Structure 1
Amino acid sequence: MDAHNVRRSFRRVAADAGLDAAEWTPRELRHSFVSLLSDSGVPLEHISRLVGHSGTAVTEAVYRQQLRPVLEHGAIAMDEIFPASDGG
């Protein structure tokens, strides 16, 4: 199928599912997929492979907003493991 036919078929499925077909595209599903994985704690490396990226740089750059909760959670965990010293 060419891209036009994929989008047309997708709009039909979205409408049948009760979604506003003008607001959803296959790309939106991809972003939702990454967001759900990220929010569920799936490691960035795994997400990158699942969406077909050869490394994490593109995944992180394109999906930064969806990945932020996972990255922040990791930073909090590291802070708990290695608490800041009081200077002594």
Structure 2
Amino acid sequence: MLWRSVREGGDTKTRKSRRTLAMPKRCAEALKLHRERQDVAKKAAGDRWQDDDLVFASKVGTELDSHNVRRSFRAVLKKAGLNAQEWTPSEMRHSFVSMLSDAGMPIEASLAWSGTATPASPERSPANKLRPLLLERAEAVDQIFRDL
């Protein structure tokens, strides 16, 4: 699990925007691999690389725009053997919620974990219940994707 509540460069913009993150192991591993690939892209870009310390950046280190994101999303769909004309990021989010629900997670928790505001969202949970709730959600994702 990875727990963070503040940005690297300082505190969050507002108190309400602070989050504690319980990250599934699979996501942490994917981010480590992503960083390694980004280091390769950085070397390939050479002097063109703009180091803004972004986690997700263009091939030259700049901020992603909607065209970059859509192009990358379609490439991932193609690699996964899915028809890019049939899937959108929103549909992927709905599928994720369905998978969590099928795995036994209450729908309110599934919606909150996918970023949909509900009364059960972590921001509204008592502090002493927040960490176990987020940990439970992260473990559920690890369980769902354990064989992939």
**TM-score of the pair, normalised by structure 1:** 0.54
In the TM superposition, what are the counterparts of 1:42-81 in structure 2 within 5 Å?
Answer: 42-56=105-119
Q: Which residue, out of 102, 126, 148, partners 1:39?
A: 102
Aligned mates of 1:44, 1:19 — CA distance in 2: 26
Aligned mates of 1:31, 1:54 — CA distance in 2: 14
SS of the counterpart of 1:21? coil
**Pair 1:20–1:53, CA change in 2 (3 A):** closer
Aligned mates of 1:44, 1:29 — CA distance in 2: 16
SS of the counterpart of 2:78? helix
The answer for the alignment partner of 1:66 in structure 2 is none
Matched, 1:8 2:8: no
Aligned length: 57
Aligned mates of 2:76, 2:115 — CA distance in 1: 24
Larger radius of gyration: 1
Contact in 2 for aligned 1:7/1:25 (Cα 8 Å) = no
Aligned mates of 1:35, 1:52 — CA distance in 2: 14
SS of the counterpart of 1:41? coil
**TM-score of the pair, normalised by structure 2:** 0.34
Shift of 1:21: 1.4
Unaligned runs of 5+ in 1: 57-88
Shift of 1:42: 0.6
SS of the counterpart of 1:47? helix
For 2:85, the aligned partner's letter is: A
RMSD: 2.0
The answer for the alignment partner of 2:60 in structure 1 is none
Of all paired residues, the percent bearing the same amino acid is 57
Aligned mates of 2:108, 2:79 — CA distance in 1: 34
Runs of 4+ in structure 1 over 3 Å off = none
Matched, 1:26 2:122: no
Unaligned runs of 5+ in 2: 1-63, 120-148
**Pair 1:48–1:19, CA change in 2 (3 A):** closer
